[in-house]
Amino acid sequence: MSTRSPDSPPHLEAEGFARSEPAPSPAVRSRAPGATAGGALPLLAVAGLAVLVLAGVSLLIGVSHVSWDALLAPQENHRAVQVLVISRVPRTLALVLAGMSLAVAGLIMQMLARNRFVEPFTAGTAESASLGLLAVTIFAPGLPILARTAVAAGFSMAGTALFLLILRRIPLRSALVVPIVGLVLGAIFDATTTFFAYRFSLLQSLMSWTTGDFSSVLRGRYELLWGAFVLTVVAYVVADRFTVAGMGEAFTTNLGLSHPRILALGLAIVAMVTAVVVATVGMIPFIGLIVPNLVSLIVGDNARRSIPWVAVMGAGFVLVCDIAGRVVRQPYEIPVGTVAGVVGSLLFLHLLLRRDARVG
Amino acid sequence: MSPSPQRFPLLLAALIGVAAIGLAVYVLRPSEAPAPAGAAPEEAASPGAGAGRPITHAQGSTVVAANLKEVVVFDLAALDTLDALGVEVQGVAGEYFPGQLAKYADAKKYPRFGTLFEPDYEAIHAARPDLVITGGRSSARYAKLSAIAPTIDQLTDDAHYLDTVVGNTERLASVFGKEERARALIESLRQAISDLKQTTAARGRGLIVLTSGGRMSAYGPGSRFGVLHEDFGIPPAAPSLKASLHGEAIGSEFILETNPDWLFVIDRDAAIGEGGGAQRLLDNELVRQTSAWKQGQVVYLDPANTYLIGGGIQSVRRLLEQISDVYAKPRQPTAP
């Protein structure tokens, strides 16, 4: 597959759509080869609108009756407004933020590892965050969520630093070494976590906090996810570096950039995003894997062009999964992690078979 | 950046391999169960010597000797009932013995035979107990255990909770010749329940919520905590809740909308001795609006007793007493 237009100054191309909302941007320079690139911006606007509609639907779904009528009616709207403000808006925001940041984290991971099948959940990042959460539960169960997340982020950073350290020590002859190291490290973290969880009879608790679930999201309990959003914006700002890094260490060095530094920055972003999401709502599998792959089919591998896409579609994916999970068994819920697992694995298989067929 | 073409077949092969292993595990797993199930009747018929008599239980009938010297218990509810009946056991499972079962934590006096979920088969093989009792969490291990030693399995039927507790108590009483004691316990429990029942019906609807790792699930009639509704007579606030082992995942909005007069909370994390955060989880802007919260009728059930021990006759008695206590108190709004 092709890495498109490293020659064009990409920061000019995509001005004004760092967010999920479609922004009117007249200046699209579609110098990139490939038929899809020229139509990408209107398409992105459509995708953004679709996500906005999904967000609107998400606001209206829930146990309490919240409808536009109820909100606009002067009387009796007290309950509806309250539910909207306390529960619905935070939940929808949390879904969008988590979806965006996880998908972008997956993209960064894939570019840095130069492997399509890497995401935070396969590189020890999520596993070390979950080990941190376990440590909090065992040693300081009374900590507030902010402190829990901080500890998880610390563990996640440490785990990722270890990942980097190992990468630096071993000869990277093949791009495959990176994800394999990640998988091995992740498995070790996972085994450690499971062992202690088993010892302390916490296996079920472990499962409940590692399964992505937005049911406990309320005002005051999700705000950390804005941190993940900020990191996503940072990722967008430095997107070109990831594009370059994605073309290999030699190429990067030839351009006068420090490959290890880009690697470190990217992994730091990924580690923090993952820790925040895992600590706040749990693990949501497949987003980081599927969304970037789907997007690369549409717009190619230029990070600056694909990050807005990845963010929008990541948000959409999580919104769809959560809406489905809430509707199927109303008024009860199916955790978004479970729905995403089912939908994601199907999509993944489809992607795999389809690409396999295309590549031959 | 892009994977080389030849990697795809490899990945696909790996995927198929994993799927095949998964399938194999799935296919092979059930074969564990049927084999000993077929062996169970034979077990019942052949050993046991002349002195034994058949005891009918949840998974068949087992010949149990009259004079039991070595008894190993894999169920906290059974242990709880045996404790109430005054029966000494010689071996237990697990590490955590809360509340009334605290004395079993002494590992020197009561040797361990694995955990509630995973028996230490070798230890049992070596000890050759006269009787093994399973139930609840260890019921699935009945088949394997009964191949080693005479085993009886205590019934868990959430839909008929009280009947199950009574039936299990009577079974254990008959095994150990403690019928008198059992009758007294059951009689007194039934009396206390009928006393409580007179007060609960008129005092509003209740919702049972279990919290675990920052998540909540709701339980209704016929569930493992359904005894509150069905036997204690507390009207369910969410009658549509179907029975299921792990409840239904809910959010605070569900509690707000159900608006129970009583909120019965089981803090699973606290039950297993890991802190617990039910209060923190429930103390939010939505739950604070429910009438249960406003009237100070959020009841944190003794988590270990309710969640871990469940179905033992003392355990039910304690649950009943806790609920009788809160219902006996006059309403007093405590929420600020």
| Nearest chain A Cα distance for residue B12, angstroms | 8
Give the residue with greater pLDDT, A214 vs A352: A214
CA nearest B248 in A: which residue? A332
Q: Flag whether residue B6 sits within 8 Å of chain A, measured between CB atoms.
A: no
Asked whether A291 and A106 are in contact (CB, 8 A), the reply is: yes
Give the residue with greater pLDDT, B213 vs A344: A344
pLDDT (average), residues B177-204? 94
Separation of alpha carbons A347 and A353, rounded Å: 10
pLDDT in tens, A143-165: 777 788 888 888 987 887 787 77
One-letter identity of residue A249: E
Pull the structure tokens for residue B295: 């009237």
| Nearest chain B Cα distance for residue A356, angstroms | 6
Q: Is the dihedral of CA A275, A279, A283, A284 positive or negative?
A: negative
- Out of B2, B249, B269, name the one closest to residue A333 (CB): B249
CB-based contact B274 A331, cutoff 8 Å: no
B274 CB neighbours in chain A (<8 A) are 137-138, 141, 200-202, 205
Pull the structure tokens for residue B89: 């056991």
pLDDT in tens, B123-147: 999 999 999 999 988 999 999 999 9
Asked whether A307 and A39 are in contact (CB, 8 A), the reply is: no
Q: What is the pTM of this model?
A: 0.77
Which DSSP category does B119 fall into?
B
- Out of B3, B215, B275, name the one closest to residue A216 (CB): B215
CB-based contact B274 A359, cutoff 8 Å: no
What H or E segment, with its residue span, contains residue A12? helix A10-13
Separation of alpha carbons A109 and A121, rounded Å: 10
Q: Flag whether residue A75 sits within 8 Å of chain B, measured between CB atoms.
A: no
CB-based contact A215 B249, cutoff 8 Å: yes
| CA-angle at B263, arms to B262 and B268, nearest 5° | 150
- Out of B9, B215, B276, name the one closest to residue A215 (CB): B215
Q: Flag whether residue B275 sits within 8 Å of chain A, measured between CB atoms.
A: yes
Separation of alpha carbons B137 and B148, rounded Å: 19
Residue A17 clears pLDDT 50, i.e. is over it: no
CA nearest B118 in A: which residue? A198
A360 CB neighbours in chain B (<8 A) are 5
pLDDT in tens, A75-95: 555 777 888 888 899 999 999
pLDDT in tens, B14-36: 777 777 776 666 655 544 444 44
What H or E segment, with its residue span, contains residue B197? helix B179-200
One-letter identity of residue B300: Y
CB-based contact A213 B15, cutoff 8 Å: no
Asked whether A32 and A300 are in contact (CB, 8 A), the reply is: yes
SS3 track for A129-143:
HHHHHHHHHHHCCCC
- Out of A141, A144, A301, name the one closest to residue B274 (CB): A141
| Nearest chain A Cα distance for residue B164, angstroms | 26
Q: Flag whether residue A141 sits within 8 Å of chain B, measured between CB atoms.
A: yes
Interface test with A, best of B215, B240, B255 (most A CBs within 10 A): B215
| Nearest chain B Cα distance for residue A212, angstroms | 11
- What average pLDDT does the structure give for chain A? 80
